[in-house]
Structure 1
Amino acid sequence: MYRILIADDEPMIRKGLQKLVEQSGLPFASIRTADNGVTALQQIREERPDFVLTDIRMPKMDGLELCRTVAELDEDIQLVVISGFGDFEYAQKCVSYGVKEYLLKPVNKKKFQETLEKLIRLKTRQQSETFVPVTKLEVWVEQLDEAIWELREADLADQLHRMKQELDSYRLKTGRLNDVLAELHALLGKRLNTRDVFAFHAELALSGTADDSESWLRFNASIASLYEGLRAKRRGKPKDAVEEAKQYIEHHLAEEVSLEEVAEHIGLNASYFSQLFKQSTGETFVQYRTRRRMEKAKKLLQQPQYRITDISGEVGYADHPHFTKTFKKYTGYLPSEYRQKMGIE
């Protein structure tokens, strides 16, 4: 999808050109208009267009000056001059600024359509010459996603550095680099949000960047924002969520720890944590907690100095009959029978 900006000080011409673009059937994501060169330049800096169609004679800043400034700002923006016959020689100067086409007023509909198609062909060729494979983007996004999700700060910095080195080898112009970074950022945000745990809303504004260095600074700042936001939500706890949950359960077997409490401790919502835990362990939270309690009870029962009632409390059962019933269900023996089996009277 392409973005186009139409600059002309005559309202009827602006509306007419906009309508021709809309009727072209070509993939334009946005069509903006400006009534003078100064306004047009401001809009270009706010959101980089792919194509600019400009009149020659406009107040505040004429089309020639606009073309010159745009060429210096971003030579990947394709320029088309639309003006009256009397300005033809004047408009010829725009060729040195990379103007792709010159159209006379009144604009011929067929010629206008052909011009738009030409611009898109040129843009497609331009992009193919600096093509970064989608598979490469997907690999980078996966690496960034894992480093952020697992709060591996050093790995994240290393991956960003290596990614920059690889992208530098493509020798992308700033405009194209911005397109790639914007796509990477969007894919990363989408991937992080598919986890359905936290909502990620980091912003990335690349319009108006002066050069590649500024683009990378903004991109890295946004990635850092994603990382810091997640770390704050997790209270700085690096995560293998299930392993951390297991450790927490193990240290609190004597207490009636709930799924919600463990989920809050590791920074996940309870519903997602429940699904993740079952998927990873093959057991529900309650099944796992009960099994670990019974395993600990077996070890304690093998030590004669502990009374059975004390063991009951040590593994989280204030209700001794409940412990006895659960232990028999799990092992097939009453606690006393299990001790006798171990040769402990």
Structure 2
Amino acid sequence: MYKVLIADDEPMIRKGLQKLIEQSGQPLAGIRLAENGLDALRLIGEERPDFLFTDIRMPKLDGLELCRQVSEMDSDIQIVIVSGYNDFEYAQKCVSYGVKEYLLKPISKKSVDAALNKLVQLQTRQKYKAFVSIYKLEKWIGEAEEAVWTLQQSDLLEIIHKVRQELYASRLKLYQVLDVMAEFSSLLIKRLNVRDVFAFSDTLDLRDVAADDEAWIRFQASLVQLLLDLKAKRKGKLKDPVEEAKLYIENHLNEEVSLEEVADRIGLNPSYFSQLFKQSTQETFVQYRTRRRMEKAKKLLAQPQYRITDISGEVGYADHPHFTKTFKKYIGVLPSEYRSKLGIE
């Protein structure tokens, strides 16, 4: 998610550029607007943007001076100069301040999209070149995955400590550390989910983190929680997940319960649960649910006080003709014929 700051003294330009950036399709965390260079510096001090779009000619502090101060303050902010044709040569002087792209007025959607695509690619390459190598990140994640999967909490804490020490030695800024943490957590979740047994979700929340210690506390808590969740899910398996699923189906025969809903209820990956259920019952989830519905329908049909149309709803069929068709397929006769055989008219 990228944070954008737009600095331009013309309200129409600011709003227009904001709208074009919002329509770009890039993942945005927010867009802020500044009326001049001084206003932009204040906003950067409050919250660092990933991308800065700035006009050249502005009151109080022009775009050239803004670029110079931003490059000294944080050289990793990607800057785009917005200028009129007559200012283009002047704008090119900003190249020594790390400007990555120029937009000529009038601004078009195509030029904004191209500029943003370039900025995103540059930042992605910069992230892994400057922060930590892909090889090292994959190695850490592999170790963390093994520790979580084998429920070795002490090993997991040791890995987190090692990662922290190495990132500290690299003298990374806080926003860089947060990016590595977010990527680490996301990739770890993906690798755990590839095992196709339990469904894991990423709960790491690094919003509003203002200090290094706070970030590491949240990061460690999130990874340890993964381990504890897995431990709890495995303990639950002592109850037999298939029997738990059967009980849930039985209690909800009058509802259109899906395989995914039941799998989530008992804490299993849907694909794995489907295989496990069929292996245990010799029936697919749908076949088992339908058979139990028909068996319940037979019991209700044996009770004269129930109307056949009411019974179809009691076993999960809002469409009565569908119920009668399914009943005949499984039992061999229509519901009315089955009831007649019991001597009930």
User: Could you state the TM-score of these two structures normalised by the residue count of structure 1?
Assistant: 0.51
1:172 maps to 2:162 = no
Q: Tell me the equivalent position of 2:69.
A: 96
How far apart, CA to CA, are the structure 2 residues paired with 1:116 and 1:197?
39
Q: Tell me the equivalent position of 1:305.
A: none
Equivalent residues of 1:18, 1:31 under 8 A apart: no
Deviations 1:68-91, CA, capped at 9 Å, x for gaps:
x15xx54x84434336x3517555
Q: Secondary structure at the match of 1:33?
A: strand
| Superposition deviation, residue 220 in structure 1 | 0.7
| Superposition deviation, residue 183 in structure 1 | 0.9
How many positions carry a matched residue from both structures?
A: 231
Q: Tell me the equivalent position of 1:190.
A: 190
1:56 maps to 2:36 = yes
Q: Secondary structure at the match of 1:234?
A: helix
Amino acid corresponding to residue 82 of structure 1 in structure 2: D
Equivalent residues of 1:5, 1:31 under 8 A apart: no
1:82 maps to 2:51 = no
How far apart, CA to CA, are the structure 1 residues paired with 2:240 and 2:210?
54
Equivalent residues of 1:140, 1:163 under 8 A apart: yes
Deviations 1:197-231, CA, capped at 9 Å, x for gaps:
33222411223322332221111111122122222
Deviations 1:303-324, CA, capped at 9 Å, x for gaps:
xxxxxxxxxxxxxxxxxxxxxx
CA gap 1:62/1:134 in 2 versus in 1, 3 angstroms? same
Q: Secondary structure at the match of 1:205?
A: coil
How far apart, CA to CA, are the structure 2 residues paired with 1:127 and 1:79?
17
How far apart, CA to CA, are the structure 1 residues paired with 2:193 and 2:200?
6
| Superposition deviation, residue 21 in structure 1 | 4.2
CA gap 1:128/1:274 in 2 versus in 1, 3 angstroms? closer
CA gap 1:31/1:147 in 2 versus in 1, 3 angstroms? closer
| Superposition deviation, residue 14 in structure 1 | 3.9
Q: CA RMSD in A?
A: 4.6
1:150 maps to 2:127 = no
Equivalent residues of 1:181, 1:219 under 8 A apart: yes
CA gap 1:215/1:152 in 2 versus in 1, 3 angstroms? same
| Superposition deviation, residue 118 in structure 1 | 7.4
Q: Which has the larger radius of gyration?
A: 1
Deviations 1:20-51, CA, capped at 9 Å, x for gaps:
54788xx83337434x5xxxxxxxxxxxxxxx
Structure 2 matches for 1:121-132, cutoff 5 A? 123=123, 126-127=126-127, 129-132=129-132
Equivalent residues of 2:5, 2:51 under 8 A apart: no
Q: Secondary structure at the match of 1:87?
A: coil
Structure 2 matches for 1:1-345, cutoff 5 A? 4-6=4-6, 12-18=12-18, 20-21=20-21, 28-30=26-28, 32-34=30-32, 54-56=34-36, 62-67=39-44, 69-70=45-46, 73-74=47-48, 77-82=50-55, 85=57, 87=59, 89-91=61-63, 93-94=65-66, 95-98=68-71, 100=79, 102-104=81-83, 107-109=105-107, 119=119, 123=123, 126-127=126-127, 129-235=129-235, 272=272
How far apart, CA to CA, are the structure 2 residues paired with 1:258 and 1:163?
38
Structure 1: tracts of 5 or more residues without a match: 37-53, 246-256, 277-283, 286-345
Equivalent residues of 1:197, 1:268 under 8 A apart: no
Equivalent residues of 2:8, 2:58 under 8 A apart: no
Work out the percentage of aligned pairs sharing the same amino acid. 40
Deviations 1:224-269, CA, capped at 9 Å, x for gaps:
221222222234x9xxx9xxx9xxxxxxxxxxx99957x9xxx986
CA gap 1:11/1:229 in 2 versus in 1, 3 angstroms? farther
Deviations 1:151-201, CA, capped at 9 Å, x for gaps:
111111112112222333333222122111111101111122223333222
How far apart, CA to CA, are the structure 1 residues paired with 2:274 and 2:23?
52
Amino acid corresponding to residue 103 of structure 1 in structure 2: V
Equivalent residues of 2:36, 2:58 under 8 A apart: no
Equivalent residues of 2:55, 2:82 under 8 A apart: yes
Structure 2: tracts of 5 or more residues without a match: 72-76, 85-103, 246-265, 281-345
Q: Tell me the equivalent position of 1:43.
A: none
How far apart, CA to CA, are the structure 1 residues paired with 2:205 and 2:147?
23
Q: Secondary structure at the match of 1:201?
A: coil
CA gap 1:91/1:213 in 2 versus in 1, 3 angstroms? same
Equivalent residues of 1:151, 1:227 under 8 A apart: yes
Q: Tell me the equivalent position of 1:321.
A: none
